[in-house]
């Protein structure tokens, strides 16, 4: 496994995330933690042979119904439980770039060792995830990749284990198990970490098929932060796909011509460009590095539709007032 920092040259090389590259020799054919898909309109989130979540796209493709496995499979953790000393182990100022970088490296190391790892052949990004800003934008974003924003993190404890999700709406991250009892000793200890400002980030992963994040690790940290009237820091694991870029010769020529006319311009009606501005424009139009798209890969549905329907029927039998729309 190889990792390198992804920086945003447009913001003085601000840290965007940690790119983690793994080869086929380092990863199984299917990652242990993975999304599976198959007809008719079926999805399943699995870890090894254990199903964690089932979803089915409704006719018309305007949303999906989902069902979380119950009872929760606590033994299928993506990361081993954090020790409370780990919360204070990072020397950097909490929520600074250096702090996020340190936790990204720590999570990458643990993911490489995990028996339920979502790491796959290719490149993934561990990046700081943030909510929508008031102006409708989100951040941080590098010049080559935009991290999907999240919202309604404070509503995660209201997300139902069996429900309908509308793709047209902003969706809260999906917890893969119920949140713990607020009176539990672990939550109480994390509440103290939250008050001290050293609570480790929550690890989430973007799922394109669900159009939302799922929580990989940190359910107790999330709850502790909410109980302290705050929101936790989040690191997002994002699968990357490189998309080639071919500069348009006509656009290149037009920009070069405009730069030549406006650098050092003194004539009325012409805006003067500084050398620094001109350099950024010229570098931008000649930049042929591939841009990075965040697309979650899915593997063929193991066991096919027969296994999917069998598991869902069995699970729905234990859900009070269950809606059998998933089976129709």
pLDDT tens digit sequence for 276-286: 777 777 777 77
Same domain, 266 and 296: no
First-to-last alpha carbon distance for the chain, in angstroms, is 44
Task: Please tell me which residue, 46 or 318, carries the higher pLDDT value.
Answer: 46
Give the separation between CA 285 and CA 163, rounded to whole angstroms.
Answer: 46
Closest CA to 116 of 24, 30, 20, 204: 30
Per-residue confidence (pLDDT) for residue 217, from 0 to 100: 95
Task: Please tell me which residue, 99 or 270, carries the higher pLDDT value.
Answer: 99
pLDDT band at 268 (very low <50, low <70, confident <90, very high): low
**Separation in Å, CA 164 to CA 58, 149, 196, 324:** 9, 21, 38, 12
Q: How large a percentage of the chain has pLDDT more than 70?
A: 89
Mean pLDDT of the chain: 85
Same domain, 72 and 188: yes
Same domain, 17 and 153: yes
Give the separation between CA 117 and CA 104, rounded to whole angstroms.
Answer: 15
* pLDDT above 50 for 119: yes
Length of the chain: 328
pLDDT band at 136 (very low <50, low <70, confident <90, very high): very low
Same domain, 30 and 136: yes
**Between β-strands 174-175 and 212-217, what pairing exists: parallel, antiparallel or unpaired?**
parallel
Task: Please tell me which residue, 22 or 144, carries the higher pLDDT value.
Answer: 22
Neighbours of 192 (CB within 10 A): 14
* pLDDT above 60 for 135: no
Same domain, 278 and 237: no
* pLDDT above 60 for 200: yes
Structurally, how many domains does the chain consist of? 2
Give the separation between CA 212 and CA 45, rounded to whole angstroms.
Answer: 13
pLDDT band at 210 (very low <50, low <70, confident <90, very high): very high
Same domain, 275 and 319: no
Domain containing residue 254: 249-286
Same domain, 143 and 196: yes
pLDDT band at 140 (very low <50, low <70, confident <90, very high): very low
Per-residue confidence (pLDDT) for residue 138, from 0 to 100: 45
Q: How many helical (H) and strand (E) elements, i.e. helices and strands, does the chain have?
A: 6, 14
Same domain, 144 and 282: no
Same domain, 311 and 172: yes
pLDDT tens digit sequence for 24-59: 777 778 899 999 999 899 999 999 999 999 999 998
pLDDT tens digit sequence for 143-176: 567 788 888 888 998 999 999 999 877 899 999 9
Same domain, 25 and 167: yes
State mean pLDDT over 71-100.
81
Q: Which of 16-30, 125-139, 189-203 has the highest mean pLDDT?
A: 189-203
Same domain, 92 and 213: yes
State mean pLDDT over 292-296.
82
Same domain, 132 and 269: no
């Amino acid at each position: 496994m190889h990792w390198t920092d992804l920086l945003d040259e447009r913001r003085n090389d601000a840290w965007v995330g940690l790119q983690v590259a793994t080869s086929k020799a380092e990863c199984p054919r299917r990652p242990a933690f993975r999304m599976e898909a198959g007809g008719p309109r079926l999805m399943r989130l699995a870890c090894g042979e254990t199903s964690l979540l089932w979803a089915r796209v409704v006719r018309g493709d305007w949303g999906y119904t989902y069902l979380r496995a119950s009872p929760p499979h606590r033994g299928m953790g993506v990361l081993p439980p954090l020790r409370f000393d780990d919360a204070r182990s990072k020397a950097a100022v909490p929520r600074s770039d250096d702090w996020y970088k340190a936790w990204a490296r720590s999570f990458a190391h643990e993911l490489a060792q995990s028996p339920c790892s979502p790491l796959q052949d290719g490149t993934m990004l561990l990046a700081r995830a943030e909510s929508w800003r008031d102006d409708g934008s989100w951040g941080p974003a590098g010049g080559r990749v935009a991290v999907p924003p999240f919202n309604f993190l404070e509503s995660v404890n209201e997300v139902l284990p069996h429900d309908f999700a509308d793709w047209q709406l902003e969706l809260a991250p999906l917890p893969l198990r119920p949140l713990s009892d607020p009176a539990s000793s672990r939550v109480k200890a994390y509440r103290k970490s939250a008050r001290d400002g050293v609570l480790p980030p929550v690890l989430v992963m973007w799922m394109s098929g669900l159009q939302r994040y799922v929580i990989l690790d940190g359910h107790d940290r999330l709850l502790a932060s909410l109980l302290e009237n705050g929101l936790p820091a989040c690191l997002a694991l994002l699968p990357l796909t490189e998309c080639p870029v071919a500069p348009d010769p006509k656009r290149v020529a037009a920009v070069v011509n405009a730069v030549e006319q406006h650098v050092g311009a003194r004539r009325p009606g012409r805006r003067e460009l500084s050398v620094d501005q001109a350099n950024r424009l010229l570098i931008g139009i000649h930049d042929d590095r591939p841009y990075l798209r965040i697309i979650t890969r899915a593997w063929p549905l193991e066991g096919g539709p027969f296994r999917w329907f069998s598991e869902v029927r069995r699970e729905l039998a234990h859900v009070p007032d269950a809606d059998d729309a998933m089976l129709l």
